[in-house]
């Protein structure tokens, strides 16, 4: 939704076709054993040379766009290790997921990192090949040297052997749970000396872990020190100290479930320490369990008055208030989004009068549980995960091209980063898994879930809104926005598409606001567009929805489907004529322009209240702008109300009495300006009550499009100043 889809761009289509050809060729070798394998020494030397070259600085990624090819979706291994059968490299077949098996491997080279963390590995028979571990933490968070150092012994469950881009063979691991590093009891005898270092006292493990922690090597402290010390600890107090230390390392690596687990395992014979309570509160806060978090901080305030608990309790109470009331200080959110990089804001999710229900053939949807008015906040949701693209940096290395041959789709942006973020977040915090896995998806591969539920997003919708105000009034692709930042907002993901939508989404940082754009009765399904409706040919518009596997059946799409191509061509020709007249440098012939617009209107057979007229609303808005510049204020009102009516609005009064919206229509960003033009016209015609009403409608329209109205006066001026 609003991501930068490049599937139809020729230069990228060539890449897609090439990848599809590679997949087809690979399928020809499915089930066969590799032939003409390189000798172990040759493969290792080749890998080490490439590694040496890349570390020497010859690999410059600053201005390169990464390409990531997603394999056909497959499920992770769900069988316990005890139920799997051991195999060797020589048993593996190409392009095959070896179900119900596992393979012990040992790395024989240092690791390299590109899209995946890679190393050459050997099995017990000393056969070697490449191992590719995808979706590992970023280098800055967990260096490849710590993830897969030379000599690492690991197990890959249900290995997938593939032909790599360079023609060599490798095992590809997409699911983090399909690789196991804790293999103490399964290490082959010939690797025991390298993997086993004998009994280490718990006190030594603690010191070693603390040393790693102080060097910010948190994963190393957890895996190679604290965890070993806990196993070797002979005294409960010794184990508790190590668990307390490990809980902080878990906290620093965003493993909040594990933090809580360690703290719960600490002996409960004594009063919890201040450190334990602080860490528990922070873990709960980061899991957005704010009510539980407040209870812990209350205990901290009572038991340890000198702690930082008082300030943290206040902050947590603010989150609870947001969660329960939906009241936010939106100007503060803008300030935070401007300063924080990435713009991940410290605010809670509010879910308003909505709930998930069955939506017949559309699967599940989001429905109102009470009456709501246009402009009301339905939800304000913090992203489950958000990958930010900083357009101010002239560095293409943060941009990725995601190629999915299985669905014939390609997108440009940060979707690859988002996939990794979500995979790692779920692995580290299994309690959050239902939030993502309960969403509609075609398979268990997280990429597929994300491709169906990912939203492209700006830093703030207000920026996009201000840009739209500067656009030409008659614009064939008004409001087409393709974003490189993206995220997943689980509750909003349940909202189904409709071109003639009744809600709008907007963004500030990683917060999404969804507001009603029409008055809605209880039990109404909420819809917003996945792709904004434009004057596309019906088939072209439907093509945009192929990723989701549906065709839009809204009144506009049905009308387009029935409309003869000649009529559509005639509308486009008339629009082009209107645009030419509008942009003419000579004195504008408004009478001729109005005649052209009347011809466009007459080409529609359905009333605009049923089928919004996309070909005419923006020319009518342009007419209102023209008449404003000519001080023809009666004509301003006539054109502005005509613009609104063409988008399905049913308005009573408006000329001699204040306008009253009886039915809200299709919402566009520039309708705020439309209402402001009428506001100026009413002022000039001394119709004060109409001016006040128009100003209020402008404010509601702004709130719907931008997500808030705290900045409305700053953007459009105060009523008294008009």
Provide the pLDDT for residue 368. Answer: 99
Q: Which residues contact 273 (CB under 8 A, 6 or more apart)?
A: 244
Pairwise CA distance, residues 287 & 255, whole Å: 10
Task: Kindly state whether residue 688 falls inside one of the protein's structural domains.
Answer: yes
pLDDT of residue 198: 55
- Let me know if residue 286 belongs to a domain: yes
Q: Are residues 284 and 217 in the same domain?
A: yes
| 596 and 689 part of one domain | yes
Same domain for 154 and 288: no
Q: Is residue 300 part of a domain?
A: yes
Query: Could you tell me if 209 and 75 lie in one domain?
Result: no
443 within a domain of the structure (yes/no): no
Indicate whether 265 and 281 sit together in one domain.
yes
**CA–CA separation, 54 vs 109, rounded Å?**
15
CATH code of the domain containing 631:
1.25.40
Instruction: Give the DSSP H or E segment for 617.
Output: helix 617-629
* Residues 171 and 251 both lie in one domain: no
Low-confidence ranges of the chain (pLDDT < 70): 56-64, 193-199, 267-270, 394-398, 440-444, 471-481, 536, 585
In a domain, 377, yes or no: no
Q: Rounded to whole angstroms, how far apart are CA atoms 660 and 371?
A: 19
Peptide bond into 342 cis (omega under 30): yes
Same domain, 46 and 141: yes
97 plus 210 within the same structural domain: no
CATH of the domain at 312: 1.25.40.10
The domain tally of the chain equals: 3
Residue ending a domain, choose from 266, 299, 325:
325
In whole angstroms, give the CA distance from residue 201 to residue 194.
19
User: Which pLDDT score is estimated for 59?
Assistant: 53
In a domain, residue 572? The reply is: yes
Q: Which domain holds residue 660?
A: 563-721
Query: Is 52 contained in some domain?
Result: yes
pLDDT given for residue 594 in this prediction: 94
d(CA 371, CA 191): 68
Looking at residue 115, what is its pLDDT?
87
686 and 637 together in one domain: yes
Residue 198's Cβ-count burial label (10 Å; 0-12, 13-18, 19+) is exposed
Q: How far apart are CA 70 and CA 448, in angstroms?
A: 10
Residue tagged 């003419």 (tokens): 584
User: What is the pTM assigned to this prediction?
Assistant: 0.92
Q: Do 123 and 240 fall into the same domain?
A: no
Amino acid 395: pLDDT: 65
CATH number at residue 56: 2.40.50.140
The reply to whether 179 and 120 lie within a common domain is yes
- Contact between 174 and 71 under an 8 Å Cβ cutoff? The reply is yes
Contacts of 3 (CB under 8 A, 6+ apart): 411, 413, 415, 454, 455, 456, 482, 483, 486
> Which of the listed residues 195, 213, 228 is the one where a domain comes to its end?
195
Whether residue 177 is contained in a domain is answered as yes
Q: Are 123 and 226 in the same domain?
A: no
Which of 170, 195, 220 terminates a domain? The answer is 195
Q: How far apart are CA 616 and CA 627, in angstroms?
A: 17
């Amino acid at each position: 939704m609003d991501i930068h889809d490049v599937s139809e761009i020729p230069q990228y289509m060539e890449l897609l076709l090439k990848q599809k050809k590679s997949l087809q060729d690979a399928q020809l070798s499915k089930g066969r054993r590799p032939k003409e394998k390189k000798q172990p020494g040759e493969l290792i030397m080749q890998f080490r040379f490439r590694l040496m070259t890349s570390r020497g600085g010859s690999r410059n990624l600053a201005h390169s766009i990464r390409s990531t090819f997603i394999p056909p979706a497959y499920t992770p291994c769900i069988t316990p290790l005890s139920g799997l059968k051991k195999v060797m490299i020589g048993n593996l077949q190409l392009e095959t997921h070896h179900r119900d098996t596992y393979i012990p491997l040992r790395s024989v080279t240092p690791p390299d990192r590109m899209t995946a963390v890679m190393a050459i590995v050997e099995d017990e028979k000393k056969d070697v090949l490449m191992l590719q571990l995808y979706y590992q933490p970023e280098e800055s968070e967990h260096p490849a040297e710590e993830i897969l150092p030379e000599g690492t012994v690991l197990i890959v469950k249900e290995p997938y052997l593939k032909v790599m881009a360079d023609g060599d063979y490798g095992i590809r691991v997409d699911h983090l749970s399909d690789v196991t590093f804790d293999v103490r009891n399964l290490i082959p005898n010939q690797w025991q000396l390298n993997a086993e270092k004998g009994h280490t006292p718990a006190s030594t493990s603690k010191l070693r872990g603390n040393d790693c922690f102080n060097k910010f090597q948190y994963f190393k402290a957890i895996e190679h020190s604290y965890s070993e010390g806990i196993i070797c600890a002979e005294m409960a107090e010794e184990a508790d100290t190590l668990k307390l230390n490990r809980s902080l390392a878990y906290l620093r690596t965003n493993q909040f479930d594990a933090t809580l687990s360690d703290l719960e395992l600490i002996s409960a014979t004594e009063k919890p320490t201040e450190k334990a309570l602080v860490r528990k509160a922070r873990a709960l806060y980061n899991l957005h369990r704010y009510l539980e978090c407040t209870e812990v901080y209350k205990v901290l305030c009572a038991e340890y008055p000198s702690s930082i608990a008082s300030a943290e309790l206040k902050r947590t109470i603010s989150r609870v208030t947001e969660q329960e009331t939906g009241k936010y200080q939106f100007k503060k959110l803008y300030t935070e989004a401007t300063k924080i990089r990435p713009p991940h804001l410290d605010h809670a999710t509010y879910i308003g009068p909505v709930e998930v229900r069955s939506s017949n053939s559309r699967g599940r949807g989001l429905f109102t549980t009470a009456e709501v008015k246009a402009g009301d906040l339905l939800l304000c949701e913090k992203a489950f995960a958000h990958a930010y693209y900083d357009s101010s940096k002239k560095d293409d290395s943060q941009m990725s091209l995601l190629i999915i041959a299985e669905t014939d789709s390609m997108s440009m942006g940060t979707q690859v980063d988002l996939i990794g973020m979500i995979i790692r977040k779920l692995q580290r915090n299994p309690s959050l898994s239902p939030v993502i896995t309960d969403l509609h998806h075609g398979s268990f591969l997280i990429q597929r879930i994300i491709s169906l539920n990912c939203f492209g997003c700006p830093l703030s919708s207000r920026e996009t809104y201000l840009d739209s105000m500067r656009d030409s009034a008659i614009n064939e692709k008004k409001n087409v926005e393709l974003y490189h930042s993206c995220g997943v907002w689980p509750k909003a993901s349940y909202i189904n598409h409709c071109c003639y939508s009744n809600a709008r989404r907007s963004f500030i940082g990683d917060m999404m606001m969804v507001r009603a754009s029409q008055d809605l009765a209880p039990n109404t399904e909420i819809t917003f567009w996945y792709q904004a409706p434009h004057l596309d040919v019906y088939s072209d518009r439907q093509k945009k929805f192929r990723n989701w596997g549906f065709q839009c059946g809204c009144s506009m799409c049905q009308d387009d489907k029935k409309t003869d191509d000649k009529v559509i061509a005639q509308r486009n020709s008339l629009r082009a004529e209107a645009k030419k007249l509008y942009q003419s440098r000579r004195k504008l012939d408004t009478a001729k322009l109005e005649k052209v617009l009347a011809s466009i209107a007459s080409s529609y057979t359905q009333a605009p209240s049923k089928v919004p007229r996309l070909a005419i609303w923006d020319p009518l808005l342009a007419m209102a702008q023209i008449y404003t510049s000519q001080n023809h204020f009666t004509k301003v009102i006539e054109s502005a109300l005509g613009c609104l009516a063409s988008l399905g609005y049913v308005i009573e009064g408006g000329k001699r009495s204040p306008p009253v919206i009886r039915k809200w229509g299709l919402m566009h960003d520039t309708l705020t300006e439309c209402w402001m033009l009428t506001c100026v016209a009413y002022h000039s015609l001394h119709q004060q009550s109409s001016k006040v009403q128009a100003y209020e409608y402008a404010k509601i329209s702004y709130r719907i499009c931008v997500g808030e109205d705290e900045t409305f006066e700053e953007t459009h001026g105060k009523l008294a100043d008009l």
